[in-house]
Amino acid sequence: MSKKRKLGRGVAIVGAGMSNFGMFPDKDSKDVFAEAFSEMLANVDKGCDPADIQAAWIGNFSNDFFVHQAHWGPIIADLAGLAPKAVTRTEGACASSTLAMRDGLMAIASGMYDIVLAGGVEEMSKCSTEEVTEGLALATSPYEGAAGYTFPGVFGALATAYFHKYGAGREDLMNITIKSHENAPLNPKGQFKQTIRDLMEARKARLEKKGQPVPDWADEKAALWDPGFNPAVAWPMHLYDCCPISDGASCILMVAEDLAKNFTDNPIHIVGFGQGSGRGLHACPSLTSFEANKQAAVEAYGTSGLSPKDIQFAEVHDCFSIAELIHIEDLGFFEAGEGYKAIANGETRREGRMPINTSGGLKCKGHPVGATGTAQMFEIWKQLRGEAGERQIPGRDLYIGATQNLGGTGGTCTFTIFERR
């Protein structure tokens, strides 16, 4: 399985777009997708006539549940002016739009098409928190749902297994949250734009205004230990270990490598791709790793001929803080059981050896689940082209980045490697 398999022909990204992520009571899925699509077109350096797009794949997990509308392929086809060409919805829970990219990749590599669109959309904020929790729980393993697990509950259980095996604790997960919130103010499209310090000051001001006792936290961790600031959701997962409920959309334009120069002098090549499937907690080989990640990593490193040390930075799927820690170990960026120490040493900060989630991650950027995969690619596109503005990784020439996207509770994991040549 680890045999090196090259794509039939190379595929490059020549445009990327992303809507603002957040809770938008006055916008629907079409509105946010239109934002992403327009930006993508505007980001194609030499321009793109939308009439040249031959097909599209659109990731969407569960708008059926969230807004009672399914069958998003033709809706997006109509919106983007692609009808009557083929537009297909892909579903892989929170990895839905990476699967859209995968279908586009295979279609171009096979020679079927030359120019395709891949993207994703989700509209979650019209539901109550309870409804969203129920909707997301549809993507757990059936045995877990029956045992009373919620989404955060499954990740909470993984965290206790990790703590027990490697001697880590809640404060190690807090380092991940604090780091993500350090990047948050630098991403103008993100849902949360405040550092933990900003949020602490805001809470103090609110309590003072209400005439309630104002806490005197020594630092960020003191606030995160305070259940008034950071209540338990599924211990050891607390509010600040969990990504928010979001609306948003994202998309990329993919073309056959030999056509890329018609669109831009600075394309981003997709050089490695892997996808794996995982089983429930009862059947997976390890409680401190996702087997689907390992499969995806073997495939992506195999197709690219690259190894973990070649990856300069990555966006990984931090739906919950513990997930970020497990991913960076599963993908080989850090040894198993060493990731939390590297995080504590600042190695995953923007200035660190291996920057992780410069976008602020799902935690701060937001997580409209079907849009997340191609939104991670939007960040890689920006960073590799040196266009990430204030959050640009400082002081180095970036040419290889990667995205890791997880669906469900690890049922689907993908790992994609991108190169600027």
Partner 1 sequence: MEERPFSDISYRLYLDEDKFMGSKCRKCGQLYVPPRHFCLECRSEDMEWYEMKGEGELAAYTCISIGPAFMIEEGYDRKNPYCTGVVTLAEGPRIVARIEGVDASDPEAIKIGTPMTVEFLHRGEGEKAKTFLAFRPS
Q: Contact between 257 and partner 1 (CB under 8 A)?
A: no
Distance CA 400, CA 413 (A): 20
Helix segments in 27-150, DSSP class H? 29-42, 63-67, 72-79, 96-109, 129-137, 142-146
Distance CA 358, CA 365 (A): 10
286-315 binders of partner 1 (CB under 8 A): 287
Q: Which residue from 23, 147, 207, 344 is in contact with partner 1, where contact means CB under 8 A?
A: 147
User: What's the burial of 254, exposed, middle or buried (CB within 10 Å: 0-12/13-18/19+)?
Assistant: buried
Distance CA 206, CA 287 (A): 40
Exactly one of 181, 269, 327, 367 is catalytic; name it. Answer: 367
Beta partners for 417?
A: 272, 402
Q: Which residue from 3, 282, 309, 396 is in contact with partner 1, where contact means CB under 8 A?
A: 282
Stretch that binds partner 1, among 130-138, 326-334, 338-346, 383-391 (CB under 8 A): 130-138
153-172 binders of partner 1 (CB under 8 A): 153-154, 156-161, 164
- 284 labelled catalytic: no
Stretch that binds partner 1, among 187-195, 218-226, 227-235, 292-300 (CB under 8 A): 227-235
User: Closest separation between CB of residue 156 and partner 1, Å?
Assistant: 3
Residue among 372, 366, 365, 377 at smallest CA distance from 402:
377
Beta carbons of 241 and 321 less than 8 angstroms apart: yes
Q: Closest CB to partner 1 among 161 and 259?
A: 161
- How far, CA to CA in Å, does 277 sit from each of 156, 295, 394, 408, 411? 21, 8, 36, 10, 5
31-50 binders of partner 1 (CB under 8 A): none
User: Closest separation between CB of residue 65 and partner 1, Å?
Assistant: 14
Q: Which residue from 114, 134, 226, 310 is in contact with partner 1, where contact means CB under 8 A?
A: 134
Q: Contact between 280 and partner 1 (CB under 8 A)?
A: yes
Exactly one of 48, 94, 251, 364 is catalytic; name it. Answer: 94
- 413 labelled catalytic: no
Q: Closest CB to partner 1 among 243 and 249?
A: 243
User: What's the burial of 138, exposed, middle or buried (CB within 10 Å: 0-12/13-18/19+)?
Assistant: middle
Non-local CB neighbours of 218 within 8 Å, separated by 6+ positions? none
Stretch that binds partner 1, among 106-114, 148-156, 254-262, 310-318 (CB under 8 A): 148-156
Q: Contact between 235 and partner 1 (CB under 8 A)?
A: yes
Q: Closest CB to partner 1 among 161 and 207?
A: 161
Q: Contact between 399 and partner 1 (CB under 8 A)?
A: no
Q: First-to-last CA distance in the chain? A: 28
Beta partners for 313?
A: 401
Q: Which residue from 25, 84, 142, 394 is in contact with partner 1, where contact means CB under 8 A?
A: 142
Beta partners for 275?
A: 414
Distance CA 363, CA 174 (A): 12
Q: Contact between 281 and partner 1 (CB under 8 A)?
A: yes
Q: Contact between 139 and partner 1 (CB under 8 A)?
A: no
The residues that touch partner 1, with contacts defined as CB under 8 A, are 129-130, 133-134, 137, 142-150, 152-154, 156-161, 164, 231-237, 280-283, 287
Q: Which residues participate in catalysis according to the annotation? A: 94, 367
